[in-house]
A and B are shown apart, each in its own frame.
Chain A
Amino acid sequence: MNRVALSVCTSVLQLALVGVGSLVLLGLMAKVKARAEGRVGSPVVQPLRDIRKLLTKERLHARHSSVVLALAPMVITASAAVAVGISPIIGTHPVLGQSADIFVIVYLLLTGSVASALAGLDPATAFGGMGASRAMTIGALAEPALLVAVIALSVQAGTSNLPGIVSSTASHPAWVFGPVHLFALGALLIVVLAETGRIPVDNPATHLELTMVHEAMVLEYAGPELALVTLGEAMRLGLLFSLVANLFLPWGVATGDSLGALAIACAALVAKTTTLALVVALIEVRSAKLRLFRLPELLAGGFVLSVLAVVMGLVIR
């Protein structure tokens, strides 16, 4: 099969899979949490239904908002979508895969965060500012951990190109159980919790404005734009889950040129991310939300873990 077509195919599959799958993962985690708490919980596909419902609603903009409020959802979703499209989620040759650098992905995600923070500040409300401030603080503390953790992996692989890291990890299975990967995994898990706004960093289900972080930022969104924001955020979560999964368990990712491998990769991805989602849900169930000012301790822990990963990489080589 033509490489270009395969690349396009890979990217489109990734987008579709992550676009829908991440919403399902959200539903799944909610379900697991509900079950663990002894509730029935809403169906796993509830987020998809919510999106559909939101799309039919009216667009509302706050009185003092500007074009930023309208643009932000698109930027959030587009940045997440592009990151998903070029990352090695089911195959190592997506569109623009050669420039799927970790730096690109991290900063695409950062662009999304910046857009949502600005959207929080735009409507001139107290909650929006509060959410933006908190989200940016958490982001600023999580980003170093994220970057350094991925750098630990890329030092080991000798490249910062994500497909490159994934394929070289796949060809060196011993790495997976090495200290570099373990420390980096720890750091990345913390980062994922922070970046996706899960307990103990943020409670996605809260309805108390003063404890909100992410929800406070998007308080002013309604209708299709809220749907877009939700979709974008879900895709970020999906992206991060699948990246963590693929960086640490690279098997199943299609490195070859066949559609069959892609199919297998889809299945592997679903399995890996579902497992990860279950783990995250269990963490959420088991822990309470941290006070905002205790968060730095957690994130600093993540950062130290990631630095440790780099140092370990230097020590054991």
Chain B
Amino acid sequence: MNTAYVSALDVTAGLVLFAAVMTLWRRGVRTIVSILGVQGLSLSAVALVLAIHEHDTALLVTGGLVLVLKGIVIPGLLLRASRLDPKSRETRPLVNVPASLVAAAVLIVLSYVVSARITSLAPSDATRLVPLGMATILVGYFMLVTRRRAVSKIVGLILVDNGIGLVAYLLTSGVPFIVELGSSIDVLLVVVVLQFLMVSMGRHSDVDVLTERRELRD
């Protein structure tokens, strides 16, 4: 039972990080969104595994919520949004793909180093995986900074959020339910808002140049 729990946790959490790295690797925006969906599913799997292991109903519900929200709804919304421009690809990221991957590697090592202290407070099967969560956050943020497409930006944002979620599950088996609920709704709303903005701005100009606009500056 315990080994199964551990390996399930390892696999699912690893998948979350792997998905994050994959988003850096691939160029097609739709592919990236799909990878995000996979990550959402893995994240919910982490929550569910933890919930089953700790008999935590609140976390179970949370896992379900995440499954629906981050596994299905948000990727779905983003897929719809990316349909505005079906051929859209990350053709010219600010940091090119090979360099991004190297950077991702560096970030992963870094997060391993920095998470040691957090883990050491309460070493357990779950908390030792915190580096994966931290790495997801950093890789997600990296994606957010370096990718040009609007959808990619949103994906980066969700990656960061997923990473934080992962850290939260691993460290504390989730924050109090009400907080979890609120934050999930917030994330959803943010995505909705961003999608709305994409659509509205798309009406004014080419979606492609959405994130390149520099009308407001000093």
Is there a contact between chains A and B in the complex with CB atoms less than 8 Å apart? no
